[in-house]
Amino acid sequence: MFSFIFLNHPESFPIDESRIARIFEMISSSLDIPQHGILNIAFLSDYEIQVLNRDHRGIDSTTDVLSFHYFDDFSDLSADQVAGEIILSESRIVSQALEHGHSCERECEILIIHSILHILGYDHETDEEYDEMWTIESPLRMQL
């Protein structure tokens, strides 16, 4: 199972790390994919995310979350190797939580689930990929 390290914490809302650990456990038990290593989680400004999005994806705009994976096969990783990064926009979490009528913490948890699935290789560029990813993501969200 992946472990996680928060590189920083949001200023606008609290993070219950035990709930994040539960997300990692839910994904690990739901998917039969070897998940070893560490995922770093960081909160950045919209500007910083826009720069990363432009430099790594060629999209010159901000987004709510970016995911980076450093390996295609996680089964050979040791528990102390960094497998990927989850970069979250604190301000987008706040605005999307208000828009969807739930807490900032829940919005953050939803984005972390989404991000981990991207790191594991799931995507939503096509309708078929979207359907496959949503089939996995939706039940995980319901468990929050």
**CATH label of the domain that carries residue 92:** 3.40.390.30
CB atoms < 10 A from the CB of 68, how many?
Answer: 17
Residue 34's pLDDT is 63
Beta pairing class for 82-89 and 38-44: parallel
Give the residues across from 86 on adjacent strands: 41, 67
d(CA 89, CA 67) in angstroms, rounded, equals: 12
Taking only the tens of pLDDT, the chain with its 144 residues reads: 788 999 999 999 999 999 999 998 899 888 876 667 899 999 999 999 999 999 999 999 999 999 999 988 777 788 889 999 999 999 999 999 999 999 999 999 999 999 999 999 999 999 999 999 999 999 999 998
Q: What is the DSSP letter of 20?
A: H
CB atoms < 10 A from the CB of 58, how many?
Answer: 7
Range(s) of the domain holding residue 15: 3-142
pLDDT tens-digit readout, 88-108: 999 999 999 999 999 999 999
Q: Virtual CA dihedral for 138, 139, 141, 144, nearest 10 degrees? A: 170
CB 35 within 8 A of CB 1: yes
Q: How far apart are the first and last CA of the chain?
A: 19
Flag whether the pTM goes above 0.85.
Answer: yes
- Residue 65: enclosing H or E segment and its boundaries? strand 65-69
Domain count, the chain: 1
d(CA 27, CA 30) in angstroms, rounded, equals: 5
Please provide the size of the chain in residues.
Answer: 144
